[in-house]
Structure 1
Amino acid sequence: MFSQGRAALAVLVALVCAIPLGAAQASAQSAPVSVVVQPANDVFISQIAPTTIYSTAEWLSVCVKTCNDATNAERRTLTGFTVAGIPKNATNVTMTLQVQSTRTTDTTVAAHKVTGTWSETTTSWNNKPTFGAALSTHTGFTANTAAGFDVSDAYTGNGAYSFGLTASSGPVAVLYSTRTTGKGPSLKITYTPGTATPTPTPSATPSATPSATPTATPTTTPPAGSSQCLPFDKPSAATLRSYDKKVFAFYFPPYPLSVDNKDPSKDQYATWLDPAGSNGMYAAQGGHSRDRPLTRPVRSGNWRQADFEVEIRQAIAMGLDGFIYEHHTSASDQRFNHIADLLAAAKAVDPGFRIMLSPDFPTTKDASPDKPIADLLLAKGHPSVYHLPDGTIPLAPFYPERQSPAWWDNLRAKLAEQGMKTSLVPIFLDWSGSGKTEWNNSVVGYSSWGVRWESSTDGYRKAGIESQKRGRFYMAPAALEDVRPRDKRYWEPSNSNTLRQSFVKAMEGDADIVSLLTWNDYAESWLAPSVERGYAPADVIAYYTTWFKTGKAPSVARDALYYFHRSHRTDAPFDKTKQTIGPIAIPYGDAATNNVELLAFVKSAGTLVVKQGTDVQTKEVTAPGMVSFKVPMVPGTTPVFELKRDGKTVQTVTSKTPIEKSVVYQDLINHAGGGVPCSRPL
């Protein structure tokens, strides 16, 4: 039978702590008593994968026989409890099986008494126990809201109880398991003690370790060192991963921490930043790009894996769950050929950090899928590859609509023949919740590349709502900005607003995952720690990642001042004899703004100050929290940012980026800086 220890301990603690007057006093007064028992085991089983054991899945699935329009694809959930300490002479005993759904569906689910031996680590569809007649049913589940099943008819006194859930109609119901802290199933028992109820004693309860019982609220103990780099106490990586919400960053292989392992003053990035570099290929626009990763000295040994390890540590410090890696191999560009080094780095740094695969693919109509299949099989079986709760490996290709849903179905079928079971999460070029219905039977979730201006981020909220209506999860995009000097284009991000609003709209739409776009595409959009921005975007992302996962904005524990602004106004004169491509301009979206932003995290009331030469602007802050304070740019100055309390300056940050009156080449990226001085991964 399944393990009884942790659930027995849980009910004993509940009995001791939940009865206000103590067991003996409550019994004497015959007041109703309620205790909540945590499960000893829970797992789901799948008819379409009859030998698969989902013991590490973070969710529990319940679905009809025609689940996702397949045949013989039923999913059932099993959950087991050990009840101890209920008085023998208790009366009016009721038992309610409580579950919490991850999304809103109109599914009808029945609860059954289960008999037979099973455990979460050994049970699959083929060796499932016996499901008895339905004890009760429930129709309609609301995201993050508990639903109850009356299973009182199964009560026979203290002992082991197993229940199974089956679906008779509606889309797949996805419930939290005990592997999502504090949200898994539970068994609520309510009874009236008899007149001579004995007080339960510890000797009647098998021993168990305290850590085996999930707590209602994940701990927020900050990890050693890294938390002090942030204006709030970030929960540990393990705690953040215990939540069902996930945050990944899209990793673009052409722009790793170092391309060639050369001295930073003369490496490939230095060439790209130099208008005369690359044999003058980008002279007309002032260079290939405007920023680069933080620099490091020349390494020996396997420097590529060492670089990946640094970036993984940076990502973990931001609260990220992993990278979405654009994966393919190339005969002409070796930068794409290092999936093995990345996976090895993830395993070496933190086995919990995962790599989601984003396969590149041929775009010619009905092209053979053999090349992407061969590339994907390179990652088969590696423990650092990300899996969904149903055990499948999600594929998240960029712009997948260049092939049909049937093409992707065929690719996945061929991978399954090779023993690699996958699912599809398309990152459409553009999708805000309308259209693409022809993809629904081929995907488990939806996503898009998104936008890079603030006013359109509400599309993320709409897309999240629509994904739920279709019975699929949603991966919302988030980005700081998009600046492409090579293509003469940029979009207006309103300083840090687009990044912050992307998270807000993802939360309003109840997105399941946030995809940061991108970690490192220095030719367009990047969020990794960099020379021109330091760790400012990373720290803001850490704040919003914690908020997204926990559902609550973190409390500010340390004052911190960050800034975001350009090095010149968007209409500043540039040298047309050097920048011969013409102006870098906004093709569509929000109009240009020319502000300096102070993004302040304050632990108590104070005065924010932005100084640009003789121009001094102030803002009173009356409560602790995060505050955005924007003022118009003043060319010919270097902004200085201050926090004052009681007339005294308690913190000062001077921008590293002067605001020029005119420039040789346009530089339309947001430079950034500030934060809490501390030791960083690089």
Structure 2
Amino acid sequence: MLSHRRAAFAAFVAIACAATTGVATASATVSAPVNVSVSATDDVFISQAAPATVYGDAEWMSVCVKTCNGKTDGERRALTAFKVSGIPAGATNVTMTLQVRSTRTTGTTVSAHKVTGAWSETGTSWNNRPAFGPALATRTGFTSGQVAALDVSKAFAGNGTYSFGLTASQGVVAVLYSSRTSGKGPTLKISYTPATGTPSPTSSPTSSPTATATATATPTSGPTAAPTTPPASPDGVCLPFDKPSASALRSYDKKVFAFYFPPYPLSIDNKDPAKDQYASWLNPLGSNGMYAAQGGHSRDRPLTRPVRGGDWRTADFEVEVRQAIAAGLDGFIYEHHTSASDQRFNQFPKMLAAARNVDPGFRIMLSPDFPTAKGATHDKVISDILLAKGHPSLYHLPDGTIPLAPFYPERQPPAWWDELRAKLAGKGMKTVLVPIFLDWQGSGKTEWNDHVAGYSSWGVRWQSSTEGYKRAGLEAAERGRFYMAPASLEDVRPRDKRYWEPSNSGTLRQSFVKADEGGAAMISLMTWNDYAESWVAPSVERGYAPMDLIAYYTTWFKTGKWPVVKRDALYYFHRSHHTDAPFDATKQTIGPIAVPYGDAAKNEVELVAFLKEPGVISIKQGSDVRTKEVTSAGMVSFKAPLKPGTTPVFELKRGGKLVQTVKSHTPIKESLVYQDLINHAGGGLTCRRPL
């Protein structure tokens, strides 16, 4: 299907150029594992070669053996500390993993130790270093920019402060990111199973690496009172507004689905995230260098989780179902076919089971793949579809018919689909066709009208083009059919040297607005998880920021009323460099990745602020400070030019006092080796998430 989609989009290019809240769900399913991630409160390295020097302002943490850099006494050690809270009493199956990112690829052997003495990043040197306990975990080998995990579960003793020391026993200097400068510093990931009947913690570490790294309580200017970290509400709600329950949202006629692409599940191989397939795809030298010319297969991955036992595929699907429910989605549109060679396509029954296990009201709409050759038979398509026959999680329209929503169905004529549906009816499945055309914005395709129940399309990925969704919805109504509008955050394809300008979160937000103006009956998020093109699922580089916006717009789309903001929350969207920043052409040998058509490239940083009452918001990038006075409660988008050489900081003030501040997880580079043109994101409330 992936090859079909690429070919299909290439053809389109040629044409164009001429319930409950997420927390309540997690609480109710007490047997499900909970994952939280805590960022470091302090980190520093110490050097035997400079025993009195305090490296509190150093950009990196270094770990090296005693003979480091040819010195007799040149050992370097690193220290990092974390404050853990919100883990409920009686939690079982607790694992605790120290995660660090390396700035270089080395074969160094590093061990993690429990630190038993006091220290601080501003006052500790080799001379006054704390005592290190026995090694808790050891690993050999670090990959530049990738997460390396060390299992420190033996040190877990409940909530409290944890200090760990890192030492090296062989190899060259291991240079690790420092949280003070990179936003990619050490994290402590904790996984546990709540005891039966244990309520959700009222305050817990955020489960999103992005959100964890960005939240800070330090005022940046002026004699203001120090705020607290962005808080969770007393009942653990993750959103700045009170989202209606899942059952309440499902009672509305309008529906919101997300298109699920099976090649990119939560985990592909159930391996350590530092060594799994996603890690290989992110590494330019991974996959035997197959994607070296473009800087790696992709630029992001799903949020990570520990290696699972048992039926890990179903457990992973259950996590993704919970994530979707937490945003108010009605279900997934699952692109389905069985494969003799790729097991990722053979998991459809497990997805159906996961939906049933988590919430019978969460439904799966069928998007069957199909042969495109002229005169192709229907046999395999029918056997694939029959896997869902009678399943309680299969989505039906109100009249009881089962919608089939295939991608790019025009590769077969309408009569082919009529014959398929007739054969399915003979086997007890009454279906209707809701084609997801490669491109349809309200004109043409009239020859399909007598063969379809509704219209949809794969959509476009730049903000100005979303006006076409309004036209398409109005035209579908004129034809007596309903419309399922697409909505996307962005589309970035290093392999094809192309991306489209999404105006930060603008394309996503305007997709909902124009779909509503056109009277769309449904919205399909394109896609949930295609990490090679376009995705909105919770991820390492974006956390839950896109999904929280989707939750807000989904609630509005369904209810017809903008949700009332009850809690202040700041989110951000921006790239890691200017779109025309110089890259290393000796390594990114495919040439520049560029906008082929559509809206021109922009270089902006966006703050999406949810305010419970008026206030002043600001975007700070070094000495460049932009402010906006917001005179009423609600959501507002505020943008400023992207400033290389800085790390954006976002603030909310009221009456001259700092209420909330969020620091971006992503520094803005002046130059780079490989282009990274995705919008990184973060922010939001501290709360417990499905992952």
Any idea what SS the aligned residue of 2:563 has?
coil
CA distance in 1 between counterparts of 2:252 and 2:403 reads 19
2:537 maps to 1:538: no
CA distance in 1 between counterparts of 2:235 and 2:557 reads 19
2:558 maps to 1:549: yes
Any idea what SS the aligned residue of 1:663 has?
coil
Query: Structure 1 residue aligned with 2:490, among 481, 484, 496?
Result: 481
Query: Structure 2 residue aligned with 1:431, among 421, 440, 443?
Result: 440
Q: What is the correspondence of 1:372-383 to structure 2 with a 5 Å cutoff?
A: 372-383=381-392
Q: Which protein has the larger Cα radius of gyration, Structure 1 or Structure 2?
A: 1
How much does 1:227 deviate? 7.0
Aligned letter for 1:382?
Answer: H
Aligned letter for 1:547?
Answer: W
Any idea what SS the aligned residue of 2:237 has?
helix
Partner of 1:386: 395
2:362 maps to 1:361: no
How much does 1:228 deviate? 1.4
- Cα deviation per residue 1:492-532 (whole Å; 9 max; x = unaligned)? 00000000000000110110000000000000000000000
Sort the Cα spacing of 1:588 and 1:247 in 2 relative to 1 into closer, same or farther, 3 A.
same
Partner of 1:588: 597
Aligned letter for 2:276?
Answer: D
Any idea what SS the aligned residue of 1:629 has?
strand
**Structure with greater contact order relative to length (CA < 8 Å, sep ≥ 6):** 2
Partner of 2:288: 279
CA distance in 1 between counterparts of 2:298 and 2:458 reads 21
Any idea what SS the aligned residue of 1:477 has?
strand
CA distance in 2 between counterparts of 1:527 and 1:343 reads 21
Partner of 1:672: 681
Aligned letter for 1:641?
Answer: F
How much does 1:369 deviate? 1.2
Q: What is the correspondence of 1:448-459 to structure 2 with a 5 Å cutoff?
A: 448-459=457-468
2:477 maps to 1:491: no
Partner of 1:398: 407
How much does 1:654 deviate? 0.1
CA distance in 2 between counterparts of 1:262 and 1:540 reads 31
Aligned letter for 1:268?
Answer: Q
Aligned letter for 1:259?
Answer: I
Residues 249 and 518, structure 1, Cα contact 8 Å, conserved in 2:
yes
Runs of 4+ in 1 over 4 A off after TM superposition: 224-227
CA distance in 2 between counterparts of 1:521 and 1:558 reads 32
2:651 maps to 1:642: yes
Measured on the aligned residues, the alpha-carbon RMSD in Å equals: 1.1
CA distance in 1 between counterparts of 2:356 and 2:389 reads 14
2:347 maps to 1:338: yes
Q: Which runs of 5+ in 1 are unaligned?
A: 1-223
CA distance in 2 between counterparts of 1:504 and 1:391 reads 29
Query: Structure 1 residue aligned with 2:416, among 407, 413, 429?
Result: 407
How much does 1:365 deviate? 1.5
CA distance in 1 between counterparts of 2:271 and 2:236 reads 32
Aligned letter for 2:563?
Answer: P
Partner of 2:323: 314
2:305 maps to 1:296: yes
Partner of 2:242: 233
Residues 260 and 332, structure 2, Cα contact 8 Å, conserved in 1:
yes
- Cα deviation per residue 1:267-302 (whole Å; 9 max; x = unaligned)? 000000000011000000000000000000000010
Query: Structure 1 residue aligned with 2:509, among 492, 500, 511?
Result: 500
Q: Give the structure-1-normalised TM-score.
A: 0.67
Any idea what SS the aligned residue of 2:351 has?
helix
Aligned letter for 1:478?
Answer: A
- Cα deviation per residue 1:630-651 (whole Å; 9 max; x = unaligned)? 0000000000000000001100
Partner of 1:612: 621
Sort the Cα spacing of 1:668 and 1:674 in 2 relative to 1 into closer, same or farther, 3 A.
same
Residues 617 and 651, structure 2, Cα contact 8 Å, conserved in 1:
yes
- Cα deviation per residue 1:51-70 (whole Å; 9 max; x = unaligned)? xxxxxxxxxxxxxxxxxxxx
Residues 259 and 335, structure 2, Cα contact 8 Å, conserved in 1:
yes
Q: How many residues align?
A: 460
Residues 394 and 423, structure 1, Cα contact 8 Å, conserved in 2:
yes
CA distance in 1 between counterparts of 2:595 and 2:410 reads 26
CA distance in 1 between counterparts of 2:470 and 2:664 reads 34
2:247 maps to 1:249: no
Residues 236 and 688, structure 2, Cα contact 8 Å, conserved in 1:
no
CA distance in 1 between counterparts of 2:595 and 2:689 reads 35
CA distance in 2 between counterparts of 1:515 and 1:562 reads 23
Residues 236 and 687, structure 2, Cα contact 8 Å, conserved in 1:
no
How much does 1:390 deviate? 1.3
Aligned letter for 1:295?
Answer: T
Residues 556 and 601, structure 1, Cα contact 8 Å, conserved in 2:
yes
CA distance in 2 between counterparts of 1:483 and 1:369 reads 34
Any idea what SS the aligned residue of 1:229 has?
coil
CA distance in 1 between counterparts of 2:292 and 2:259 reads 29
CA distance in 1 between counterparts of 2:682 and 2:363 reads 29
Query: Structure 2 residue aligned with 1:632, among 624, 638, 641?
Result: 641
- Cα deviation per residue 1:434-479 (whole Å; 9 max; x = unaligned)? 1101101110000000000000001000110011111111000000
Residues 363 and 395, structure 2, Cα contact 8 Å, conserved in 1:
yes
Sort the Cα spacing of 1:664 and 1:553 in 2 relative to 1 into closer, same or farther, 3 A.
same
How much does 1:226 deviate? 8.1
Aligned letter for 2:662?
Answer: V
Aligned letter for 2:687?
Answer: C
Partner of 2:360: 351
Partner of 1:172: none
Any idea what SS the aligned residue of 1:258 has?
coil
Query: Structure 2 residue aligned with 1:558, among 567, 576, 590?
Result: 567
Partner of 2:524: 515
CA distance in 2 between counterparts of 1:294 and 1:343 reads 22
CA distance in 2 between counterparts of 1:512 and 1:461 reads 12
CA distance in 2 between counterparts of 1:236 and 1:389 reads 21
Any idea what SS the aligned residue of 2:428 has?
coil
Any idea what SS the aligned residue of 1:604 has?
coil
How much does 1:368 deviate? 0.8
CA distance in 1 between counterparts of 2:500 and 2:316 reads 31
Residues 318 and 541, structure 1, Cα contact 8 Å, conserved in 2:
yes
CA distance in 1 between counterparts of 2:538 and 2:672 reads 25
CA distance in 1 between counterparts of 2:234 and 2:329 reads 17
Aligned letter for 1:533?
Answer: R
- Cα deviation per residue 1:344-374 (whole Å; 9 max; x = unaligned)? 0000000000000000000112211111111
CA distance in 2 between counterparts of 1:246 and 1:550 reads 11
CA distance in 1 between counterparts of 2:352 and 2:626 reads 49
Q: Which runs of 5+ in 2 are unaligned?
A: 1-232
Residues 648 and 663, structure 2, Cα contact 8 Å, conserved in 1:
yes
Residues 227 and 234, structure 1, Cα contact 8 Å, conserved in 2:
no
Sort the Cα spacing of 1:679 and 1:227 in 2 relative to 1 into closer, same or farther, 3 A.
closer
Aligned letter for 1:230?
Answer: L
Residues 247 and 514, structure 1, Cα contact 8 Å, conserved in 2:
yes
Partner of 2:379: 370
Sort the Cα spacing of 1:361 and 1:299 in 2 relative to 1 into closer, same or farther, 3 A.
same
- Cα deviation per residue 1:23-69 (whole Å; 9 max; x = unaligned)? xxxxxxxxxxxxxxxxxxxxxxxxxxxxxxxxxxxxxxxxxxxxxxx
Residues 226 and 317, structure 1, Cα contact 8 Å, conserved in 2:
no
